Amino acid sequence: MTGKKFDYFIKGEKGNWEVIIGLEVHAQVLSKSKLFSSSPTKFGAEPNSQVSLVDCAFPGMLPVINQFCIEQSVKTGLGLKAKINLDSVFDRKNYFYADLPQGYQISQYKNPIVGEGEVILDMSYGTRKIGIERLHLEQDAGKSIHDMDPDNTFVDLNRSGVALMEIVSKPDLRSPDEVNAYIRKLRSIMRYLETCDGNMQEGSLRADVNVSVRKVGEKKFGTRCEIKNVNSIKFMQMAIEYEARRQVELLEDNKQIDQETRLYDTKKNTTRSMRSKEDAHDYRYFPDPDLLPLNLKQSLIDKLKKKLPELPDEKKERFIKEHNLSYYEANILVSEKEISNYYEEVIKGCDKKLASNWITGELFAVLNKKNLSISQSPVSAKNLSTLIKMIISGKISGKIAKDVFEKMQDNDKDPQQIVDKEGLTQESNPKEIEKIISQALSKNKDKVTQYKSGKEKLFGYFVGEVMKISKGKANPQLVNEILKVKLK
């Protein structure tokens, strides 16, 4: 923690305004088949190739609940430290649209499967606890494609019936930065749990963003607008900035905010009104008569709880305690499941702190430069581990290790082979080092005289000369020790 202060406000002409944000995140359940049918859910398939009779609402077809999707939502609920509701209900949310053949979406309204929970954010000004209101299960709709033909709209029902978890936050977020941290944390938790792949480009994670503003110091919330279906963190942040400013301008003009649903235009970076806010009664919610209420056994919850993997917050605490890492380092190493896996692979039989330095330092520099994710790392965890072990055992110096690391990036080369082939093994034989030191000193007799008459700064110069002659291979610690004796 840097102790920086929270300082995000919208500065209006009549004072500072606080921004209040609540998110409804739609996370696609990681599942091979849909919520109420056995159709596959693969991304990018030929349009309408993954549609069963249930998904296209053939008369008389009945939904059959996918037990795996239920377990995925329970796991996600547990990961959010949330209350799991043993009794929940599937409701019909009725509306008409061409990509919704049923004429209703099966969702959960009054009795969701998961109740209140929380997500912890690490901000530069401290940790923030963001409340989760609920998580409910629902079906996705199909997709209307308006831009393929000037005269026709096409409908692709591949997504129709795919299971979504809608995760509703309390209005606890206060800035675009916090929204960024929240989405990343939520995504990370679900990826650890393997309940959602979090792939925003493929639409596995989207959010409706609710925004309102109030004068700093005021207690009452202002009227909110909901920006629908934003599918990138950057767009969420830009939409919030724009929307909050729009609301501040209206309020400072003594106009009022209409509670409405708005669309974010990514090209113009503006939001525009789509419709006035619909109320629950507009949807005529009622329990779906085709589905029984969902009753879960406590034993199932307990079983899933036992199998839960270690999640980022707990892993971070453990890394700090067991591996002596700083809060900052631990936070980076647990931020993504793949990074923590990589780290845990590297530290097998290896120094934990040094491994962390290498990963967050050298390796991340390379990944950033080449714009790669950790799973695309040109150096495998196994080989990085070998390299670090060679430093610890004294086989190579830290400096040589950096050169070797550079060469390893060519197709994940084995560091052992590079060192053997190029004869880079560190020289740690005192006799050999003495020889090199003698060479260095006899080459620089005048400087030795200067040193002995008090110019002690020259010590570093001699070390440099020795390293040069040994091509960087002399053990620096021994060079220091022996050189001191020699120069007495």
Residues between 3 and 22 with contacts to ligand ADP, criterion CB under 6 A: 20-22
Stretch that binds ligand ADP, among 150-158, 183-191, 219-227, 410-418 (CB under 6 A): 219-227
User: Which of 134, 315 has the CB closer to ligand ADP?
Assistant: 134
User: In the bound complex, what is the minimum distance in angstroms from residue 24's beta carbon to ligand ADP?
Assistant: 5
Decide if 207 contacts 24 (C-beta within 8 A). yes
CA–CA gap between residue 408 and residue 402 (Å, rounded) = 10
Residues between 223 and 262 with contacts to ligand ADP, criterion CB under 6 A: 224, 226
Q: Return the H-helix or E-strand segment holding 333.
A: helix 327-334
Stretch that binds ligand ADP, among 46-54, 175-183, 210-218, 374-382 (CB under 6 A): 210-218
Q: Return the H-helix or E-strand segment holding 330.
A: helix 327-334
Cβ count within 10 A of residue 474: 25
The residue with its CB nearest to ligand ADP is: 22
User: Which of 169, 360 has the CB closer to ligand ADP?
Assistant: 169
User: In the bound complex, what is the minimum distance in angstroms from residue 212's beta carbon to ligand ADP?
Assistant: 3
CA distances from 333 to 320, 330, 384 (A): 11, 5, 16
DSSP secondary structure, 299-323, as one string: HHHHHHHHHPPPPHHHHHHHHHHHH
User: In the bound complex, what is the minimum distance in angstroms from residue 421's beta carbon to ligand ADP?
Assistant: 59
Interaction of residue 210 with ligand ADP, rule CB under 6 A? yes
User: In the bound complex, what is the minimum distance in angstroms from residue 207's beta carbon to ligand ADP?
Assistant: 9
Interaction of residue 91 with ligand ADP, rule CB under 6 A? no
User: In the bound complex, what is the minimum distance in angstroms from residue 410's beta carbon to ligand ADP?
Assistant: 49
CA–CA gap between residue 38 and residue 30 (Å, rounded) = 14
Of 235, 216, 213, residue with least CA distance to 224: 213
User: In the bound complex, what is the minimum distance in angstroms from residue 121's beta carbon to ligand ADP?
Assistant: 15
Residues between 165 and 194 with contacts to ligand ADP, criterion CB under 6 A: 168-171
User: Which of 158, 210 has the CB closer to ligand ADP?
Assistant: 210
User: In the bound complex, what is the minimum distance in angstroms from residue 114's beta carbon to ligand ADP?
Assistant: 14
User: Which of 107, 385 has the CB closer to ligand ADP?
Assistant: 107
Cβ count within 10 A of residue 170: 15
CA–CA gap between residue 243 and residue 267 (Å, rounded) = 15
CA–CA gap between residue 479 and residue 103 (Å, rounded) = 81
Query: Which residues of this chain interact with ligand ADP, rule CB under 6 A?
Result: 20-24, 168-171, 210-212, 221, 224, 226
